[in-house]
């Protein structure tokens, strides 16, 4: 965050409205971050996680920028996000719903050309039933829990899933995937444990490509990459690995106006409840932290 405010960098309409700060989104840096990750993953591919409106930066403009850099795979969390995003993308792009589908949305999802990540036998069966109702094969991705205890088929469901795959031919599995829980900690033993479990699953479900790496996983090495990695926070400039310099470019910056400055002596009480007491003469600044919506793209 900048401690100074540059009014000349804010749009005229924002200045008239009396804006005291703005959020800048550097789409060029976003694109370079994607290209950096894609180069690290080659010959595998880099997808983009654009859930929660691309972490609040605007899924449509983020996806457009990444599409211009060659991205063709986009992951959201909820079906409603995919519904909004899908019409804005190229026809050869794919949109995946990480949480799978709520009951009753299967037909709408299929007709919109959106691909669910199936996380349970119930979701798989509902998607297969939708394929039967539409009398065509529907694409899907199977997610397995490799130790995070969040989404994905648990170990005890794998045998039944394998049987269902053998009996049904109306679900086309594009790839299988899992999610790393501790990838930002390079030396965490959970990374190797999850990789070993993913390898066991690949041996059980042969013939399917693998998607495994998240942002941190990209930096764990080729064994974690698979054919398609799913970076999220790293795209937006967040540090993918803790304890080392961040290799990603910052994408978001915040400029806030300084309302008032003052110099106070030692022993001055600062803030509600005297949350801080100065130990020496101190220069203080009060900033306009309640931000209006003055945004600039670059």
Provide the 10 A C-beta neighbour count for residue 113: 15
Q: Could you tell me the two tokens for 196?
A: 């070993």
Query: How confident is the model at residue 82, as a pLDDT?
Result: 97
What is the chain's pLDDT, residue by residue, as a tens digit (298 residues)?
344 444 445 454 555 467 777 788 999 999 999 999 999 999 999 999 999 999 999 999 999 999 999 999 999 999 999 999 999 999 999 999 999 999 999 999 999 999 999 999 999 999 999 999 999 999 999 999 999 888 999 999 999 999 999 887 899 999 999 999 999 999 999 999 999 999 999 999 999 999 999 999 999 999 999 999 999 999 999 999 999 999 999 999 888 888 899 999 999 999 999 999 999 999 999 887 764 444 444 4
Q: What's residue 7's pLDDT?
A: 43
**Cα dist from 27 to 32, 33, 41, 210, whole Å:** 9, 10, 21, 29
- Is 51 one of the catalytic residues? yes
pLDDT at 5: 42
Half-sphere exposure of 90 (CA within 13 A, CB side): 14
Q: What is the SS3 assignment for 216?
A: helix
Q: What is the pLDDT of residue 297?
A: 47
* Per CATH, domain 27-236 is 3.40.190.10: no
Q: What is the pLDDT, as a whole number, of residue 254?
A: 83
Overall pTM surpassing 0.75 (yes/no): yes
Tokens 């990789």, residue located = 195
Domain chopping of the chain, boundaries: 7-22+252-297, 27-236
Strand order in the sheet with 21-25: 252-256, 21-25, 295-297
Name the catalytic one among 22, 34, 36, 51. Answer: 51
> Which residues does 163 contact at the CB level (< 8 Å), separation at least 6?
none
Which residue has 């990838």 as its token pair? 183
Q: Which residues pair with 282 in a beta bridge?
A: 264
Q: Is 12 buried (19+), middle (13-18) or exposed (0-12) by CB count in 10 A?
A: exposed
Q: How far is CA 43 from the centre of its chain?
A: 21
269-270 vs 276-277, strand pairing mode: antiparallel
As given in the structure block, the two tokens for residue 264 are 């106070």
Torsion from C-alpha of 256, 259, 263, 267, nearest 10 degrees: -80
């Amino acid at each position: 965050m900048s401690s100074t405010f540059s009014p000349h960098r804010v749009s005229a309409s924002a200045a008239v409205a009396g804006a005291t700060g703005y959020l800048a989104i550097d789409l060029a840096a976003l694109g370079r971050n994607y290209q950096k990750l894609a180069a690290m993953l080659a010959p595998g591919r880099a997808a983009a996680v654009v859930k929660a409106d691309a972490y609040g930066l605007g899924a449509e403009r983020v996806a457009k920028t990444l599409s211009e850099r060659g991205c063709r795979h986009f992951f959201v969390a909820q079906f409603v996000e995919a519904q909004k995003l899908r019409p804005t993308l190229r026809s050869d792009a794919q949109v995946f719903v990480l949480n799978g589908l709520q009951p009753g949305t299967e037909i709408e999802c299929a007709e919109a050309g959106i691909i669910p990540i199936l996380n349970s036998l119930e979701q798989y069966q509902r998607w297969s039933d939708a394929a039967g109702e539409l009398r065509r094969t529907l694409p899907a991705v199977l997610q397995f829990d490799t130790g995070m205890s969040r989404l994905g088929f648990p170990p005890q469901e794998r045998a039944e899933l394998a049987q269902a795959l053998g009996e049904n031919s109306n679900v086309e599995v594009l790839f299988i995937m899992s999610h790393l829980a501790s990838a930002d900690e390079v030396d965490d033993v959970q990374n190797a444990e999850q990789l070993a479990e993913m390898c066991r699953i690949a041996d059980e479900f042969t013939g399917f490509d693998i998607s495994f790496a998240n942002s941190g996983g990209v930096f764990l090495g080729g064994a974690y990459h698979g054919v398609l990695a799913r970076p999220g926070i790293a795209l937006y400039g967040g540090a993918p690995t803790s304890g080392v310099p961040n290799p990603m470019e910052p994408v978001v910056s915040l400029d806030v106006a300084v309302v008032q400055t003052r110099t106070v002596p030692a022993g001055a009480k600062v803030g509600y409840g005297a949350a801080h007491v100065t130990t020496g003469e101190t220069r203080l600044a009060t900033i306009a932290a309640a931000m209006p919506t003055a945004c600039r793209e670059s």
